A and B are shown apart, each in its own frame.
Chain A
Amino acid sequence: MKIMVAIKRVVDYAVKIRVKPDKTGVVTQNVKMSMNPFCEIALEEALRIRESGLASEVVAVSMGPAQSVDTLRTGLAMGADRGIHVEANGSLYPLSVAKILKKLVEIEKPGLLILGKQAIDDDCNQTGQMTAGLLNWPQGTFASKVVLDKEKQVVTVDREVDDGIETVSLNLPAVITTDLRLNQPRYATLPNIMKAKSKPIKKYTPEELNVEIKSDLEIVQVTEPPKRKAGVVLSSVDELIDKLKHEARVI
């Protein structure tokens, strides 16, 4: 059985984000980019399933500009067998990504499609769900535990929901989106980094896949949240009463 993992190249999680002066978006020039942390978890889960003998191949997919290949190489260095890069410049919203994934699934025919639950740059949390809808596949989102039963062709997923943990049983093929507590992704070791250089990355364009990239969304403005005011340490009760009366105006 093949597993397909979708990974996204985003601004590194630890970078301090700054808004562009023209408020059209966030500064991405000269800023460190890395694999989306949830995508790392998704890839790690796929690798573990393959290592337990329940899958034969892990294919990593990424969509975006040419630099997305770097992120794919990281995925290959972690242990994925093959990479697919769909080159598309300009913004890609979840629905477009879902349509492309549907086409790739029809070509590759994986038994499982695993994604991160959301990307840390847009926080959409939509791609996995939309793809499952388009493919008419069952979905297990916010997975904190995944158990595959190859014989019965069923995957049991523990989902982290607001009320607690919900366990669902899905028939394969299925879509899973991963949450934080699912696993701890492995590091890319040097021998694997070297091996990754020779692993194949297939290139597609949206046109080749007959997908039209059009967006129904337009970003109007991006602003920073209002800055928190620093707290003040007061030195006496009188000062506290004074501030409550005149500044906070609550007494």
Chain B
Amino acid sequence: MMNRNTRATLRLLTPFFNPRRNPSLLPSTPHFDENWWHSQTNIAHGEHRVSSLFNPLRFSVKNQQMGVGISTGIQHKCYASMPGLVQRNPRFSELNDDDVRYFQEILGQKNVVQDEEKLSTVNTDWMHKYKGSSKLLLQPWNTDQVSQILKYCNSRSLAVVPQGGNTGLVGGSVPVFDEVIVSLSSMNKIISFDKVSGILVCEAGCILENIISFLDNEGFIMPLDLGAKGSCQIGGNVSTNAGGLRLVRYGSLHGSVLGVEAVLADGTVLDMLKTLRKDNTGYDLKHLFIGSEGSLGIVTKVAILTPPKLSSVNVALLACKDYNCCQKLLQEAKRKLGEILSAFEFLDSQSMNLVINHLEGARNPLPTLHDFYVLIETTGSDESSDKQKLEAFLLHSMENELISDGVLAQDINQASSFWRLREGITEALMRVGAVYKYDLSIPLENLYNLVEEMRSRLGNAANVVGYGHLGDGNLHLNISVPQYDDKILSQIEPFVYEWTSKHNGSISAEHGLGLMKANEILYSKSLETVQLMASIKSLLDPNHILNPYKVLPHSLNA
């Protein structure tokens, strides 16, 4: 299976990257290194990747200094962790003053942003790993304006990047070159909330934490919760089918999103905003927009089913001596805690050390260090019976030596501090240096083996940490290095993807493909499936203006 996939990948990539077949694709920049280029073509012929002979970050900075708006040379981008070349598609037009004037007529001067400082922020992703060179940020505040913008961009062949909270981790929310950024941040109204059914209708730019506060007042909660909740927007969550901490209890967004309003590339507004729990009338197209990362349409409104807020929440942080115990604990938890289990997360000792040492105010609730930690949350309606159930489960697990120690939060503050330890790992990683981040779905019994293999592969060159949503079989493998280094990257990729593919896992459990994994989709999906995806993309977005260079392999998008 894997062999077929990689051969297929190579077949797709070869025509694009091989300069011997297309000499006009050779870049004309003076800093181009021929040796490096040939080493890249070696990749296309199945040999192992050779690390590049120059610092890619410097290369892309030089490119920007030369001015990106030149129509003569071919622009290239090299990303700190992508040993491949992305070329700006010459089919896309470049922005001119007439375009800017047209947008100003629709949105007013204030919402058409050309200010360099502001643009610099929205051009850069949260991890400071990807930087685009867009010259224009648009801030519509209703669906009609989004429709007009897209209709115009489609007619002018201007590429567009829809942007929400810009907290994505695969470079999907920022431009690659000079795509126009359409920000949904101004569309942040809550439209309606039905207190009986718990169905919430809101605009795509609502920040998740604000929605959670609103629902808290009404006695409800959001079915998803993630560390980025202070900045991420619901439109982005839906477009990336975000998973989060409560998926084990409330399921994925494909289940809780009841309706979506989206705008297609040609400006057509698709009103699929139903607030019905059951509606079997025809093909359920809203699912196309959940998880397609803005490449099929811009999500402008969402109708979502919210669960009632239950009063009894208990959080326990437990210590296990090895990964086997963590697995068995999960089995036991699903059985003994059953319907009240609302989260099951794990972190290894390296993750815990990182958080305690680099996050302010974080301290280890357990007196000694352990190899593995598991965070369990239960949510139910009866405080005393839930606590009894949880304590019985914990006592039983201790007696069977599944856990070696643990703490049970006695009040909401303690519960938040336990969650901070788990949710703060991402932030702590950012403070220490550069991170290579992988989000993988792997069968439970092999999940941690990948972390151990990466540790032995990289040795002292990197700090490999593993944590994640153990309840969903989702590992967040993070490799922390002082700075991005292609030598290290070549040890990581494609090994991580091949390993995952060999174990029939997914190379992107919840983060999506974005720019980072656009060319790796064949590690997890068959060629026929990907080709059908490409057909659907061409049907909904014939000019390929929506979020180009991302999600699907580059050669399919040409």
Contact = CB atoms under 8 A, between A and B. Distances in A.
A74 interface: yes
Given A14-B416, A30-B311, A193 B411 contact: no
Contacts of B540: none
A190 B411 contact: no
A235 B407 contact: no
B186 interface: no
Interface stretch (B336-344, B391-399, B424-432, B440-448): B391-399
B216 A12 contact: no
A32 B365 contact: no
Interface in A90-116: none
Contact of B408 (A31, A184, A188, A235): A188
Interface residues of B, number: 30
A168 interface: no
B411 A14 contact: yes
A214 interface: no
Contacts of A13: 411-413
B367 A189 contact: yes
A15 B412 contact: yes
A190 B311 contact: no
B412 A190 contact: no
Contact of A32 (B363, B412, B416): B412
A77 B414 CA distance: 15
Most buried by A among B110, B405, B406: B406
Contact of B411 (A30, A34, A77): A34
B22 interface: no
B62 to A, nearest CB: 40
B403 interface: yes
A188 B411 contact: no
B24 interface: no
Given A32-B311, A187-B365, A193-B391, A235 B406 contact: no
A147 interface: no
Contact of A189 (B383, B407, B412): B407
Contacts of B280: none
A35 interface: yes
Contacts, number: 67
A152 to B, nearest CB: 32
A16 interface: yes
Contacts of A37: 411, 413
Contacts of A16: 216-217
A190 B410 contact: no
A187 B407 contact: yes
B288 interface: no
Most buried by B among A31, A34, A35, A189: A189
Contact of B398 (A31, A74, A184, A190): A190
A190 B405 contact: yes
Contacts of B313: 32
B533 interface: no
A44 to B, nearest CB: 12
Contact of B407 (A34, A35, A190): A190
A161 B188 CA distance: 46
B413 A14 contact: yes
Interface string A172-191: 00000000000010011111
Interface of A: 12-16, 30-32, 34-35, 37, 70, 74, 77, 184, 187-191, 193-194, 235
